[in-house]
Each structure stands twice: as structure tokens, then as C-alpha cells.
Amino acid sequence: MPLHHEAPAAINGASVAIVDAFRWMVDNGKLAANPVKRRVAAVSVGIIDGEPRLDLDYSEDVRAEVDMNVVMSSAGQFVEVQGTGEHGTFDRGQLNTLLDLAVAGIAELDSAQQAALGG
């Protein structure tokens, strides 16, 4: 099922929340160890008016020629890459540009998640 424009924010918040919840369970003797092996982060990218853009909002999402959602693990591995030529097509060079933009955005989100979790 493809992600919608709201999904990346929900994924990012949920990843922090689940790590924090399991950490609480470990700290309070409910679990012996945190079962979370890695966090995930997600971002949307797209091409609007011929220009690649990061973190599309709704108004951008609906008019994007190309819309893509990318989810990666905190270990730097792709979990999901879902792209669609909504109002156009895209070539391999544009795909690479969008993936590079997404990877950079996810690196920032990963850092923010680490900071939110205190480390």
C-alpha cells in the first residue's frame, strides 16, 4: 500500500515513540532487553515544476510530476522506495537525484530521532 503525504511524519514519530516505550519497559523491569534493533525514518521527495524537492506538503504532493516516499532504517538500509510519475515520467538520473535527496533528508531525521531519544 503506497504511503500518502502524511505517512512520513507518522512513521518518524512512531519510530521514536516505540523505542521510548520499550526503553521504559526495560527500565521498569517489564522486559529484559529492548527488542527494537533499529529505528526507521521516512521522507517524501518529488519533482515539482521540473525541480527536485524534499519533504512535500499536501499542496506540493498533489501537483508533483513525480512523487516518491522513501523509508530507511537507522542502519542506512532501504525499507521502502515507492515512486510514481503522477503527472509525468522520470528518468534514471532524476531517480538518482530524488534518492540522494531522500537519503540526505533521512540522515537529518535520524539525527533528530537520536537527539529526541537522548543520545
70 Cα distance to chain centroid: 5
Domains and CATH numbers, the chain: 7-116 (3.30.230.70)
Q: Model confidence at 119, in pLDDT bands (50, 70, 90)?
A: confident
Which are the contacts of 86, defined by CB distance < 8 A and separation ≥ 6? Answer: 64, 65, 66, 67
- Sign of the CA dihedral running 41, 46, 51, 53: negative
Mean pLDDT of all residues in 29-45:
96
**Segment among 7-16, 41-50, 65-74 with least mean pLDDT:** 7-16
pLDDT in tens, 48-80: 999 999 998 888 888 999 999 999 999 999 999
pLDDT for residue 8 = 85
pLDDT for residue 84 = 92
Mean pLDDT of all residues in 27-50:
96
- pLDDT > 70 in the chain, percent: 95
